[in-house]
Amino acid sequence: MHMNTLVGGGTASWTYARWRKSVQPAGDKFYYVKKDKKIVGCFALAQITEKFYGLPSEKRGIRPVIYSSIKRYQDYRTHDYMYWVTIQYAIKEGYDFVDLGGWQINPRDHLKNVNRFKEEWGGEIYYYYWDYPLFTALRRKLIRNVSLFWKINQWVKTWRGSVGKSVHDQKVIESMQI
């Protein structure tokens, strides 16, 4: 389900080993949403501190490593429910903050709606930056801001079927190890 969500959003599929490593920080914090007897959504939460954002703080927070649902069930507002349960969990467990993740600067296509959805929950948009190697930063800028590079990137991901581990993936995994 998570891989279908990623691929539907324009990401190439991952190997199971890569996916498993990316969700390891969640430990046993995996949840699912059922409609009748069918699982229609799933999410996994990882604990972080504000160091994740480069701040010298030990404030604890919770952040999704997975939020996914079956598209044809989205009218049931599965993502709203998953965010609501995440917020309730954070309050119950005494976390200082919840990071809903995934807000995009200068979004394209469906990501505009993702931003609107997350903005409706209130809170603040917090900008933080990964320390990408120069080539990675340039590649990401070109893909996000130049339509031709966006299309080429989509074609390469479709043609290749999967991508290797990126510097960004490793930094996210490392920063969640607390």
* Domains identified in the chain and CATH numbers: 2-176 (3.40.630.30)
Q: Is the pTM of this model over 0.75?
A: no
Structure tokens at 132: 């990408």
What mean pLDDT is predicted for residues 84-107?
Answer: 87
User: CA nearest 45: which of 109, 89, 110, 92?
Assistant: 89
Q: Are 117 and 81 in contact (CB under 8 A)?
A: no
Q: Does 162 have pLDDT greater than 80?
A: no
> Which residue did the predictor score with more confidence, 127 or 57?
57
> Which residue did the predictor score with more confidence, 69 or 145?
69
> Which band of pLDDT confidence, cut at 50, 70 and 90, is reported for residue 19?
confident
Q: Where do runs of H (alpha helix) occur along 24-146?
A: 78-93, 111-119, 134-145
> Which residue did the predictor score with more confidence, 159 or 42?
42
What pLDDT sits at residue 131?
59
Helix 167-176 to helix 16-23 angle, to the nearest 10 degrees?
Answer: 40
